Amino acid sequence: MAADPPGGLGPWQVVRPAANEIAEQIGMPPENLIQPEALRWLVWKPLPQINEQAVRARLSEHGVRHWQQDLLAARFAELLAAVPGPGDGSSA
Taken in order 30, 86, 50, 74, the sign of the CA dihedral is: positive
Below-50 pLDDT ranges, the chain:
1-4, 87-92
- pLDDT tens by residue, 45-66: 888 899 999 999 999 999 999 9
Whole-angstrom Cα distance, residue 41 to residue 64? 11
Buried b (16+ CB within 10 A) or exposed e, 29-62: ebeebbeeebbeebbeeebeebbbebbbebbeee
